[in-house]
Amino acid sequence: MAKLSLLLGLLILFTPSLSCPVHQKQALLQFKASLINATTSFSPKSPPVLLESWNSSLDCCHWDMVICSSRFVSRNVVALYLEDLIWSKEPIVLSSTILTPLFRIRSLTQLVMSWNQIQGELPGDGFANLTELVHLALWNNDFNGSIPSQLFHLKHLQYLDISSNSFQGNIPKEIGNMTKLQHLILRSNELFGEIPSSILNLKELKTMDLSYNSLSMEIPVDIGNLANLTILDLNCNKLTGTIPSTIQNLTKLEILHLESNLLIGDIPSKLFNIKDLKGLLLGGNNLTWNNNAKIVPKFTLSELSTRSCGLTGEIPNWISTQKTLEILDLSENQLEGMFPKWLAEMEVGTIILSDNNLTGSLPPRLFNSQKLYALSLSRNNFYGELPNNIGNATTLGILTLARNNFSGKVPESISKIYGLYLLDLSNNKFSGNTLPDFSSNVQLQIIDFSSNEFSGEIPTNFSQETIILALGKNKFSGRLSRNLANMSKLEYLDIHDNKIKGELPDFICQISTLHIVIF
């Protein structure tokens, strides 16, 4: 035992303290120098670069954002976390040639270069050098041109995120070569053409996020073969055809996001059997859903969108089983009937039911919610007065009730909703010759009360934050109060078609932000 620890001690004593290879340190120092050089022209006095610890007299394995392997014989740089390096108010732009020195560090397994305002084409030859890469994150830059094919030869790659850039062109079929890939994130680029069927070779794939591009043609019919997919996000593209029925084979799916494409046909009913599904977002296509079918979902959703999915009849009852629902969008359907009591009790955060044919008055229980953030009921046939307890909905930010048949006064308690910032009551039959004191709704930026039956003097108790104030087509009377000039952020004021006396007063001109006045 003593011998062993002696041996160990000697071993530690005689092991030379290993530092990173000289050529790798030089590559990093060169990267730092060219970064400083590139930013100096924007901010000559203090180049806003966060690489202070990159000191040539220290071992580069001790620098910030640099990770070395802990192998006994050599210590190579294996990971660089170079995220958000530039701190500057100036609009600094870096060229993609800034990456050149890094391509000499062939031992890299992880490279994170997100949020760096790098512009230009991605140097394919350079990435061909980085054959050990497992994790590559380049999101939120401004890389353009096509995705270089060399990227798809990185056969160890498990994570590829190049989202929020300006990559153009097709997704090359070579993508099917990256058979280790688990996360493919190409969101928010300018990619077009089809989703290549070779993508079905990526059997390990857990995330496929191709959203916010211009991809067209059909979703590969055998997408159901990617048995490990948990996130399938194809939102905002131009995909056509039907939802492949194999999608119901994706038993591990948690997010299915197909909104805003050109899909047609039926929503596969077996989707309801996918136990782990949390987000089911299918709106904004031309899909149809046979909602008469008796549905007993096995999932527990937090987000559901079936906007414009041809829903008819009452709001589907099965939704009441979704106890953890946070976002519900059933807008642009032909739903009828009343606002369901069960929905008022469910504590949903965002409820969007606009553009349907719903009717009845609003259940007061809805406004005792501790979570209600957005309620959008515009363009239905709701009627009656707003419940007096509306002010209990203290988490409310957005309330849009336009084009219904609501009437009566706006309850005083609305002024208790501190965070309310959009209030659209236009095109109803609201009345009353006094309004609540909106000066305590300190966030209230957009107010549209137009086309109602409000009377009395134009109120002046609005928030200083108000940007849009639309009071046209009511029965307001009297003169405009000088206090309106206190609304220092007002950009749009519409008071036309009322019974206001006199000319437009001069003090309105004191509001320097005001662009549009409709009198």
Ligand X SMILES: *[C@@H]1O[C@H](CO)[C@@H](O)[C@H](O)[C@H]1NC(C)=O
Length of the chain: 519
Instruction: Kindly state whether residue 405 participates in binding ligand X, applying the rule CB under 6 A.
Output: yes
Q: Segment contacting ligand X (CB under 6 A): 196-204, 298-306, 344-352, 503-511?
A: 196-204
Contact 318, 342 (CB under 8 A): no
Contact 376, 398 (CB under 8 A): yes
Distance CA 437, CA 420 (A): 13
Residue-wise over 298-315: b if at least 16 C-beta within 10 A, else e? Answer: ebebbbbbbbbbbbeeeb
Q: In the complex, what is the shortest distance from the CB of residue 481 to ligand X, in angstroms, rounded to a whole number? A: 10
193: part of which helix (H) or strand (E)?
strand 190-193
Instruction: Kindly state whether residue 55 participates in binding ligand X, applying the rule CB under 6 A.
Output: yes
Q: Within positions 83 to 122, which residues make up the interface with ligand X, using CB under 6 A?
A: 103-104, 106, 119-121
Positive or negative: CA dihedral 12, 15, 19, 24: negative
For residues 113 and 303, which CB has a smaller minimum distance to ligand X in the complex?
Answer: 113
Judged on CB neighbours under 10 Å (0-12, 13-18, 19+), 514 is middle
Contact 452, 402 (CB under 8 A): no
Q: In the complex, what is the shortest distance from the CB of residue 153 to ligand X, in angstroms, rounded to a whole number? A: 6
Q: Of the candidates 320, 461, 477, 486, which one interacts with ligand X according to CB under 6 A?
A: 461
Instruction: Kindly state whether residue 442 participates in binding ligand X, applying the rule CB under 6 A.
Output: no
Instruction: Kindly state whether residue 407 participates in binding ligand X, applying the rule CB under 6 A.
Output: yes
Print the binding letters for residues 479-518 with ligand X: x by CB under 6 A, - otherwise: ----------------------------------------
In the chain, the amino acid numbered 351 is: I
Q: Of the candidates 148, 284, 297, 459, which one interacts with ligand X according to CB under 6 A?
A: 459
Q: In the complex, what is the shortest distance from the CB of residue 80 to ligand X, in angstroms, rounded to a whole number? A: 15
Instruction: Kindly state whether residue 370 participates in binding ligand X, applying the rule CB under 6 A.
Output: no
Q: In the complex, what is the shortest distance from the CB of residue 188 to ligand X, in angstroms, rounded to a whole number? A: 16
Distance CA 185, CA 289 (A): 29
Distance CA 269, CA 249 (A): 12
Instruction: Kindly state whether residue 409 participates in binding ligand X, applying the rule CB under 6 A.
Output: no
Q: Of the candidates 439, 445, 481, 486, which one interacts with ligand X according to CB under 6 A?
A: 439
Distance CA 228, CA 77 (A): 32
For residues 126 and 297, which CB has a smaller minimum distance to ligand X in the complex?
Answer: 126
Q: Within positions 278 to 307, which residues make up the interface with ligand X, using CB under 6 A?
A: 286
Strands 118-121 and 142-146: parallel
Distance CA 93, CA 103 (A): 21
Secondary structure class of 314 (helix, strand, coil): coil
In the chain, the amino acid numbered 238 is: K
Instruction: Kindly state whether residue 455 participates in binding ligand X, applying the rule CB under 6 A.
Output: no
Q: In the complex, what is the shortest distance from the CB of residue 55 to ligand X, in angstroms, rounded to a whole number? A: 4
Q: Segment contacting ligand X (CB under 6 A): 76-84, 131-139, 297-305, 387-395?
A: 387-395
Instruction: Kindly state whether residue 145 participates in binding ligand X, applying the rule CB under 6 A.
Output: yes
Rounded to an integer, what is the distance from CA 355 to the centroid of its chain?
A: 23
Instruction: Kindly state whether residue 246 participates in binding ligand X, applying the rule CB under 6 A.
Output: yes
In the chain, the amino acid numbered 344 is: A
Q: Which residues are near ligand X by CB under 6 A?
A: 33-34, 37, 55, 57, 103-104, 106, 119-121, 125-126, 129, 144-145, 173-174, 176-177, 198, 203-204, 224, 227-228, 245-246, 249, 264, 286, 334, 336, 357, 359, 368, 381, 383, 388-389, 392, 405, 407, 413, 429, 434, 437, 439, 459, 461
